[in-house]
Amino acid sequence: MPTRPLNSSPESEPADVFAPSREASKEITVRFNNTGAEEKAPERVNIREVARQAGVSVATVSMVLNASPRISRSTHIKVQRMIDKMGYRPNRLAQSLSGRYTQVVAVMLPPLRHAFADAYFGEILSGIADRAGKLGHKLLIEQAKPQFVKEGKHLELYERRFVDGVLCLGFNEKHSFLSDFAARRYPMILVDNRFGDNLLDYVQCDYRLGAQQAMNCLLQLGHRNIGMVYAAPESPTARDVVETYTARLVEAGISPSEKWLVDGCFTDEGGAEAARVLLTRAPEISALLCGNDKMALGAIRYLTTHGHRVPDDVSVVGFDDIQHLAYANPSLTTVHLPLYELGVLACEKLVERIRGKVEHVAEVLPTHLVLRESTGMMRTLRSES
CATH number at residue 122: 3.40.50.2300
Based on the fold, state whether residues 71 and 113 are members of the same structural domain: no
Phi, psi of 333 (to 5 degrees): -75, 130
Backbone angles phi, psi at 170, to 5 degrees: 95, 15
pLDDT at 218: 98
Does residue 53 form part of some domain? yes
Query: Does a structural domain hold residue 37?
Result: no
Q: Indicate whether 38 belongs to any domain.
A: no
Instruction: Give the pLDDT confidence score for residue 18 in this predicted structure.
Output: 35
Same domain, 194 and 214: no
Is residue 168 domain-shared with residue 134, that is, in the same domain? Answer: yes
Q: Do 257 and 151 share a structural domain?
A: no
Same domain, 170 and 60: no
- 54: containing domain: 44-79
Asked, for residue 377, whether it belongs to a domain, the answer is yes
Distance between alpha carbon 252 and the CA centroid of its chain, in Å?
Answer: 35
Task: Please state, as a whole number, how many other Cβ atoms lie within 10 Å of the Cβ of residue 342.
Answer: 23
Residues 330 and 249 in one domain: yes
Which residues make beta-bridge pairs with 202? 190, 362
Helix, strand or coil, per DSSP, at residue 64: helix
- Predicted TM-score (pTM) of this structure: 0.75
Residue 85 is assigned to a structural domain of this protein: no
Instruction: Find the helix or strand (DSSP H, E) in which 245 lies.
Output: helix 236-251
Q: Do residues 235 and 379 share a domain?
A: yes
Report d(CA 335, CA 313) in Å as an integer. Answer: 21
Give, for 263, the enclosing helix (H) or strand (E): strand 261-263
Cα Rg of the chain, angstroms: 28
Do the Cβ atoms of 256 and 223 come closer than 8 Å?
A: no
Nearest to 290 by CA among 212, 222, 211, 193: 211
What is the reported pLDDT for 353? 92
The answer to whether the CB of 231 falls within 8 A of the CB of 290 is: no
Contacts by 381-385 with C-beta closer than 8 Å and gap 24+? Answer: 381/221, 381/222
Residue 99 lies in a domain: no
Please tell me the distance from the alpha carbon of residue 24 to that of residue 28, in angstroms, as a whole number: 6
Query: CA of 224: how far to CAs of 53, 221, 290, in Å?
Result: 62, 9, 16
Judgement on whether residues 200 and 166 belong to the same structural domain of the protein: yes
Is 33 inside a domain boundary?
no
Q: At CA 201, angle to CA 200 and CA 202, rounded to 5?
A: 110
- Report how far apart, in Å, the C-alpha atoms of 47 and of each of 50, 68, 91, 223, 270 are: 5, 16, 10, 61, 54
Q: Is residue 263 part of a domain?
A: yes
pLDDT for the residue numbered 94: 53
Calculate helix-pair angle for 73-86, 58-65, nearest 10 degrees: 90
Report pLDDT for 86. Answer: 85
Tell whether 201 and 348 lie within a shared domain. yes
Q: Measured between alpha carbons, how far is 223 from 287 in angstroms, rounded to an integer? A: 7
268 and 258 fall within a common domain: yes
Are 197 and 168 in a shared domain? yes
CB 367 within 8 A of CB 334: no
- Pair 128, 176 in one domain: yes
Cβ distance 291 to 266 under 8 Å? yes
Domains identified in the chain, total number? 3
Per-residue pLDDT of the chain (385 residues; tens, 9 = 90+): 444 334 444 343 333 333 334 343 333 344 444 555 544 445 678 888 889 999 999 888 888 877 666 788 888 888 888 888 888 876 654 555 445 788 999 999 998 888 888 999 999 999 999 999 999 999 999 999 989 889 999 999 988 889 999 999 999 888 888 889 888 889 999 999 998 777 899 999 999 999 999 999 999 999 999 999 999 998 999 999 999 999 999 999 999 999 999 999 999 999 999 999 999 999 999 999 999 999 999 999 999 999 999 999 999 999 999 988 889 999 999 999 999 999 999 999 999 999 888 899 999 999 999 999 999 999 765 545 4
Query: What's the pLDDT at 270?
Result: 98
